[in-house]
Structure 1
Amino acid sequence: MEANTAPALDPKAFRAALGSFATGVTVITTRAADGSPVGLTANSFNSVSLDPPMVLWSLAKKSHSLAVFSNCSHWAVHVLAADQEDLSGRFARSGTDKFSGLEVGNGFGDVPLLAGCAARFQCQSTFQHEGGDHLIFVGEVAAFDRSDRAPLVFHAGRYAMAAQRDPSLPPARSARVAGGLDEDLLGYLLGRAYFQFHQGVRDKARAAGLTDAQWIVAAALTARDGVHADDLSAALGYVLDEPLPPLLQLMRSDGWVHADPLGRWHLTPSGRDRSLHLLAAAKAHEGDLLSRWSYDEGALLKLQLQKFIAATNPGFPDLWHEA
């Protein structure tokens, strides 16, 4: 495996390792207070931030392992390889010695590490979020490694990208009716979906003292810190409802951002910490919404939106583009 260890984590390699997560088949491990290894299968893994490198996953509050993970200092995420389907089943069961007969190493915080995975992320537990009937665990990645092994991809015996029509939706209407300016219009569907998605995050941003525009700027700087105001305006101006310069000045007076001598804008340590908490909440909200469909339906939705954006882009710059 090709290893990277904190504090000098390579962002591009970290992004590549996150890309090994194809279907959400992971095993999370830690060690209980009495020293015994604990592990379970989870499909809620997601990235939070590249700088600092942070990830999250969630666990049902009724899980027998909740107390152990709530109190541990470190845990590890294992992205299973294609030939590790047996591990997925093994760690999904309860009441058995899940580690019996396995090759197990020790990572940060003495966390048990499984061998042969597509990728592994060793994390220090950073904070936790309430997520309805789940608890969301957010951790900073202390080390990770990845291999060229294909990740475990399994759905009904094979991988598929299929979306079934929700029976709760109204029946499709005729082409004559559907052609009007109504709820079948793509712009209406995209706009309403955007509003309903952000409604779940907007309240948390408001509680943190941020307007919608300020939250967009904070989230952008979380993804790419040290950006000139002109670049921010070019990349975000079309979604902001107010001029950027006074907005940045207001965020500076509130302790969210600061500008360096070269005119590049950065999150302050306090601003970054608060932004990461909001970003984790947004990721948890996304996970909750996507959990209402199958994995394939959620992945297909994102894929189609990405294709739509690429096909209709009038030339907007991408703040996250890697040169």
Structure 2
Amino acid sequence: MSAPNSSNHTPKIDPKALRSALGTFTTGVTIITTQADNGEPVGLTANSFNSVSLEPPLVLWSLAKTALSLPIFNTAEHWNVHVLSMDQQALSNRFAARGEDKFKDLQLDQGITNAPLLSQCSARFQCKTAFIHDGGDHVIFIGEVLDFDQSNLPPLVFQSGQYALTARKPWQDVSLSQADAPLECSYTEDLLGYLLGRAHFQMLKGMQQELAKYDLTSSHFFALSVLAIRDGLTLAQINAHIDYTGQALTQGQLDQLIHANLLAYRESKTTDAEVFLTEQGRQASLGQIAQAKAIEDELIDELGRGDVTALKLLLKRIIHQTDPGLPDLWSTDSN
């Protein structure tokens, strides 16, 4: 009995499902540029960029056969690949869209060829067309790298149909515990609440010196921070903004800030009187902000700008997910 023909049992590939599966492969985001025969700059967003060879230096990318710019790239002798940095998402969107002047108001650098060279990228590769291959519904362009440069700007990446940021994973898992064996309890160092809390208090420990200059407590600090953003609030309004801390500014603590000439009543003192920062209070708040930024800069130096930015985005998502309905401090109508 002959073996069945395996080709008769090959399942039909669903293009949408295949695209979704391929989307799990995280890629960088690039903009490919060239110059048309009439001198017009041409560019498009692509995430099909890849390395081919180091010796000789070759890279590739692919373009859909339905793309309007395909005839231009088919005849182009030179093109540039720009690996976008994490701050260039808007630029990626611009070059992915049709029907607009993509190069309007862009500052271009001087390259070694006539292909447009964008700035502020994580890396750039100036290439000469070496081979063009048919690739199904795409055309594959292979280029010889004539010159390249890179910066320390973290790259923008694309994963499962969305922009993303990279966070470097250490070669070994980071453990806070020095014990050889974990304690027999369910409260572990990987508990998110513990990690957030410990990181918060350790990071802000450096704020204590700044607060000590004015003999301030954390409640005082929260109140001054709120008023530095939105001046002229009542005690109740201040407490509405700092409710998430689990602390509340008392009338006695408010009086301490007024006695220290950090705050003042806008009018005569009443139970619902508005308070505002004095000049001394504003300088104290600016000193606290400067100290907080100095602590952040130290973290950026240690962790890298990309990791810190990714952390900020994750924390914003956590804040949004756990928000109990606090008034928006930065909104113009949160009063």
After TM superposition, the score normalised by the length of structure 1 is 0.49
After TM superposition, the score normalised by the length of structure 2 is 0.48
Larger radius of gyration, structure 1 or 2?
2
Higher RCO, 1 or 2 (CA under 8 Å, sep at least 6)?
A: 1
